[in-house]
A and B are shown apart, each in its own frame.
Chain A
Amino acid sequence: MGPIRFAAGFLALTVLAAAPAIAATVTDSAGRTVTVPDTISRVYAAGPPASVLLYVLAPDRLTGWPRAPHAYERPYLAAPYRDLPETGRLTGRGDTANLEVVLRNKPDLIFDFGSVRDTYISLAERVQKQTGIPYLLIDGRFENTPEALRLMGGVLGVDKRAETLASYVEDLFAELDRTLAKVPEDQRPRVYLARGPDGLETGLKGSINTEIIERAGGRNVADPGPDAAVRRGITQVSIEQVIVANPDTIITWDRNFYGQVWTNPVWRGIEAVKRKRVYLAPTAPFGWIDRPPSVNRIIGLKWLAGLFYPDRFSFDLPAETRKFYKLFYHVDLSDEELDRLIEWASGRP
């Protein structure tokens, strides 16, 4: 499941791809060897993270979106693809996809991007057996993003584009590592991720929902301790616990919460609110922090590093956003679209 397997899979693929008309074998992140057709023109993304990965690499292969884009997300997706139909998700839990609909779309490949647990492996095996369509599982951990881009790029035959995107991500990771190497742990910002309309849902440190905070050099205040035997996921906290944690930075993507945090008496005394360090993450076409946990977090990572370390990490929000949306999402943002997108992303004046 490590990088060696990826490399091996990638290598096997490139070698085999040299011989046209012969199906290639790919080793996916679960260590499964899957035979995929030589030309892949239609791909079914099993869940939202997979659909983002596919969209940034080769949007013309998408058969549809797991969930149809909302009206406010549509301007940030390229023209023909934002009208693709809703095809549901096939992730083993709360499935909304109908296998017959999946088959009717005649995909050459099904793939999922995210956690590689036994549940998902067995689901992939089952669906692959049932439909006869190859099913790949790709590890969705943040650090694995460049590898995932390259692996899928190889499968889809868009190696050059995958390389461009992967090196963008690697450059960012490297720049961050350089920046953070000089910042001792106790000088890093103490960050609270406020989710939900009242801001009292958060992700515990170590969960996939908040890994972006640590990667950008922040400390998640919702930390049960390294050895605590708790499920690392989304949880509820009380306002008193937030007051005790007293974060100096709050990030959220909930507009309702953002609108009232400045005037709400219980939040007003918290360090982050007093110092006006509460930031609203953009959510279109995909979230910047999470929602879903996929390649869309890369721009969020840059943004957070810029907020956490304005003196050490140079980040020009409008310019970088434009560049990222052009490179990854295939869209040229108008000034008005850009303004609407990043409103309050630098806090409220």
Chain B
Amino acid sequence: MGKRTALRSTFSVAPPALTISGLSVAVILLTLFTITVGPYPLSVGQILEALWRSATGLGDAPAGQIDTVLFQVRIPRVTAALLVGAALAAAGTVYQGLFRNPLVSPDILGVSTGAGLGAATGILLSLPVIAIQGLAFAGGLITVALVYSVATAVRGHEPTLVLVLAGVVLGALAGACISLVKILADPYDQLPAITFWLLGSLAGVNPKDVWSALPLVGLGLVPLVLLRWRMNLMALGDEEASALGVDPRRLRILFVAAATLITASVVAISGVIGWVGLVMPHIARLIVGPNFDRLLPTAMLLGAGYLLIVDTLARTMATTETPLGILTAFLGAPVFLWLLASGRRGW
């Protein structure tokens, strides 16, 4: 008990508004810093000059590849890291609230596995990158839609339990299909591509990817923000929620759809990245408590900052890329174990 109180007092000294604005400033500073880091040497002066040039249209033509690196590679990649991190954390927060279970990650209903199957199929068919991303997006949405229809078809049980079970079963089935695709794939050519995709990476991100994922994530966030108070009621359980005048079934389908859209649109550009959606909502809950109103922005800021740090490591640690899925797990697992050991319950 003493430890728990200590934790709470360490994290909750500041009022939530202050915490959120503090985090925002930290993420902005981190973003500005990471734009200056990378294998291509760019000084702060060169970056400011390039930004000034692109904003005003004044100045000399850029020397070398400065503009390409900055506007086509580094800024899109940093933006993508922020977007993917925030999106996964948001989806994780929603799922954990819906299922009233802190061990739930955005993949609970099979969205990443479905997306993985879509992408693996695209690679097997030697499709262009854009089609692979489209198939990944569709695969994620279709899997969750199937899970939801199976769960609604099965009546007479606790609805969230059936949903989770259907998610586990169909997720495992999609996983088996991925293995089948891997067996069919060319071991010298397509198999490594599938493996890398399943490990997650932002190495190939370009501005178009960011522009295609951003509106979809925004669209998914709208219901979450508008209905944030009802999310708190959902966390009380179906009976209490019904007693308080909300329709838990309709709300659940809306939240699941929103969180799935968010996850599928970022997974399509980044590949499978675990841990962010599982761990970030936890840390957010430690800091600001379970109120969804504050929890959502806090988790998103934490997720954005975390993935930005991890991705900066991934692109600067070695002369080649380190897959994100590996790094997030190496950094995420100890944090998660510590959270488990500290014994604090979600709510």
Chain B residues contacting A200 (CB-CB under 8 Å) are 203-204, 321
Q: A239 at interface (Cβ–Cβ under 8 A)?
A: yes
Please tell me if the beta carbons of B204 and A241 are within 8 angstroms of each other in the complex: no
B54: shortest Cβ distance to chain A, in Å? 14
Please tell me if the beta carbons of B128 and A260 are within 8 angstroms of each other in the complex: yes
Q: B193 at interface (Cβ–Cβ under 8 A)?
A: yes
Say whether, besides A96-B183, A236-B201, A290-B188, A269 and B65 are in contact (CB < 8 Å): yes
Stretch at the interface among A37-45, A120-128, A190-198, A302-310: A190-198
Q: A157 at interface (Cβ–Cβ under 8 A)?
A: no
Chain B residues contacting A291 (CB-CB under 8 Å) are 186, 188-189
Chain A window 257-270, contacts with chain B (Cβ cutoff 8 Å), 1 for yes, 0 for no: 00110001110110
Please tell me which one of the listed residues B68, B182, B186 contacts residue A243 in the complex, with CB atoms under 8 A apart.
B68
- A95 closest partner in B (C-beta): B183
Chain A residues contacting B17 (CB-CB under 8 Å) are none
A300: shortest Cβ distance to chain B, in Å? 13
Chain B residues contacting A96 (CB-CB under 8 Å) are 183
- B128 closest partner in A (C-beta): A256
- A224 closest partner in B (C-beta): B319
Please tell me if the beta carbons of A239 and B73 are within 8 angstroms of each other in the complex: yes
Task: Point out which of A94, A239, A260, A291 has the most chain B C-beta atoms below 10 A from its C-beta.
Answer: A239
Say whether, besides A239-B73, A239-B203, A259-B128, A266 and B192 are in contact (CB < 8 Å): no
Give the size category of A's interface with B.
35 or more
Say whether, besides A237-B203, A241-B320, A244-B40, A201 and B126 are in contact (CB < 8 Å): no
- A67 closest partner in B (C-beta): B186
Chain A residues contacting B204 (CB-CB under 8 Å) are 198, 200, 238-239
Please report which residues of chain B, range 177-198, place their CB below 8 angstroms from some CB of chain A when the two chains form the complex: 182-183, 186-189, 192-193, 196
Q: How far is the CA of A238 from the CA of B74 in the complex (A)?
A: 10
Q: A134 at interface (Cβ–Cβ under 8 A)?
A: no
Q: How far is the CA of A290 from the CA of B187 in the complex (A)?
A: 11
Please tell me which one of the listed residues A236, A239, A259, A287 contacts residue B323 in the complex, with CB atoms under 8 A apart.
A236
Please tell me which one of the listed residues A223, A241, A253, A293 contacts residue B39 in the complex, with CB atoms under 8 A apart.
A241
Q: How far is the CA of A238 from the CA of B316 in the complex (A)?
A: 10
Q: How far is the CA of A298 from the CA of B34 in the complex (A)?
A: 45
Please tell me if the beta carbons of A240 and B69 are within 8 angstroms of each other in the complex: yes
Q: B132 at interface (Cβ–Cβ under 8 A)?
A: yes
- B64 closest partner in A (C-beta): A269
Q: B206 at interface (Cβ–Cβ under 8 A)?
A: yes
Please report which residues of chain A, range 196-231, place their CB below 8 angstroms from some CB of chain B when the two chains form the complex: 196-198, 200-202, 204, 209, 222-224, 230
Q: B242 at interface (Cβ–Cβ under 8 A)?
A: no
Q: B1 at interface (Cβ–Cβ under 8 A)?
A: no
Please tell me if the beta carbons of A197 and B127 are within 8 angstroms of each other in the complex: yes
Q: A98 at interface (Cβ–Cβ under 8 A)?
A: no
Say whether, besides A198-B204, A240-B38, A291-B188, A235 and B68 are in contact (CB < 8 Å): no
Residue pairs across A and B with CB atoms within 8 Å: the count is 110
Q: How far is the CA of A257 from the CA of B39 in the complex (A)?
A: 23
A144: shortest Cβ distance to chain B, in Å? 19
Task: Point out which of B38, B128, B323 has the most chain A C-beta atoms below 10 A from its C-beta.
Answer: B128
Chain A residues contacting B186 (CB-CB under 8 Å) are 67, 291
Q: A48 at interface (Cβ–Cβ under 8 A)?
A: yes
- B192 closest partner in A (C-beta): A234
- B201 closest partner in A (C-beta): A236
If over half of B's interface residues share one DSSP class (helix, strand or loop), that class is named, otherwise mixed; here it is: loop
Q: B315 at interface (Cβ–Cβ under 8 A)?
A: yes
B324: shortest Cβ distance to chain A, in Å? 10
Q: How far is the CA of A243 from the CA of B206 in the complex (A)?
A: 14
Please tell me if the beta carbons of A236 and B128 are within 8 angstroms of each other in the complex: no
Please tell me if the beta carbons of A238 and B321 are within 8 angstroms of each other in the complex: yes
Chain B residues contacting A222 (CB-CB under 8 Å) are 319-320
Please tell me if the beta carbons of A244 and B320 are within 8 angstroms of each other in the complex: no
Chain B window 160-188, contacts with chain A (Cβ cutoff 8 Å), 1 for yes, 0 for no: 00000000000000000000001100111
Q: How far is the CA of A238 from the CA of B38 in the complex (A)?
A: 10
Q: A312 at interface (Cβ–Cβ under 8 A)?
A: no
Q: A255 at interface (Cβ–Cβ under 8 A)?
A: yes
Chain B residues contacting A269 (CB-CB under 8 Å) are 65, 68
Chain B residues contacting A241 (CB-CB under 8 Å) are 39, 315, 319-321
Chain B residues contacting A347 (CB-CB under 8 Å) are none
Please tell me if the beta carbons of B74 and A240 are within 8 angstroms of each other in the complex: yes
Please tell me if the beta carbons of A240 and B129 are within 8 angstroms of each other in the complex: no
A304: shortest Cβ distance to chain B, in Å? 18
Q: How far is the CA of A235 from the CA of B201 in the complex (A)?
A: 12
Please tell me if the beta carbons of B189 and A240 are within 8 angstroms of each other in the complex: no
Please tell me if the beta carbons of B39 and A240 are within 8 angstroms of each other in the complex: yes
Please tell me if the beta carbons of B128 and A240 are within 8 angstroms of each other in the complex: no
Q: How far is the CA of A35 from the CA of B223 in the complex (A)?
A: 73
Say whether, besides A244-B40, A266-B206, A256 and B127 are in contact (CB < 8 Å): yes
Please tell me if the beta carbons of B192 and A197 are within 8 angstroms of each other in the complex: no
Q: How far is the CA of A196 from the CA of B196 in the complex (A)?
A: 10
Q: A239-B204, A240-B74, A291-B189 are in contact. List 4 more A-B contacts (CB 8 A).
A: A89-B187, A222-B320, A236-B196, A292-B188
A-B contact pairs, 30 of them (CB 8 A): A89-B187, A196-B193, A197-B129, A200-B203, A201-B196, A209-B188, A222-B319, A224-B318, A230-B318, A236-B201, A236-B320, A236-B321, A237-B321, A239-B73, A239-B204, A240-B40, A240-B74, A241-B319, A241-B321, A243-B40, A243-B69, A243-B73, A255-B126, A256-B128, A265-B72, A266-B72, A266-B206, A269-B68, A287-B188, A291-B189
Nearest 5 pairs between A and B by C-beta?
A291-B188, A236-B321, A238-B203, A198-B204, A235-B320
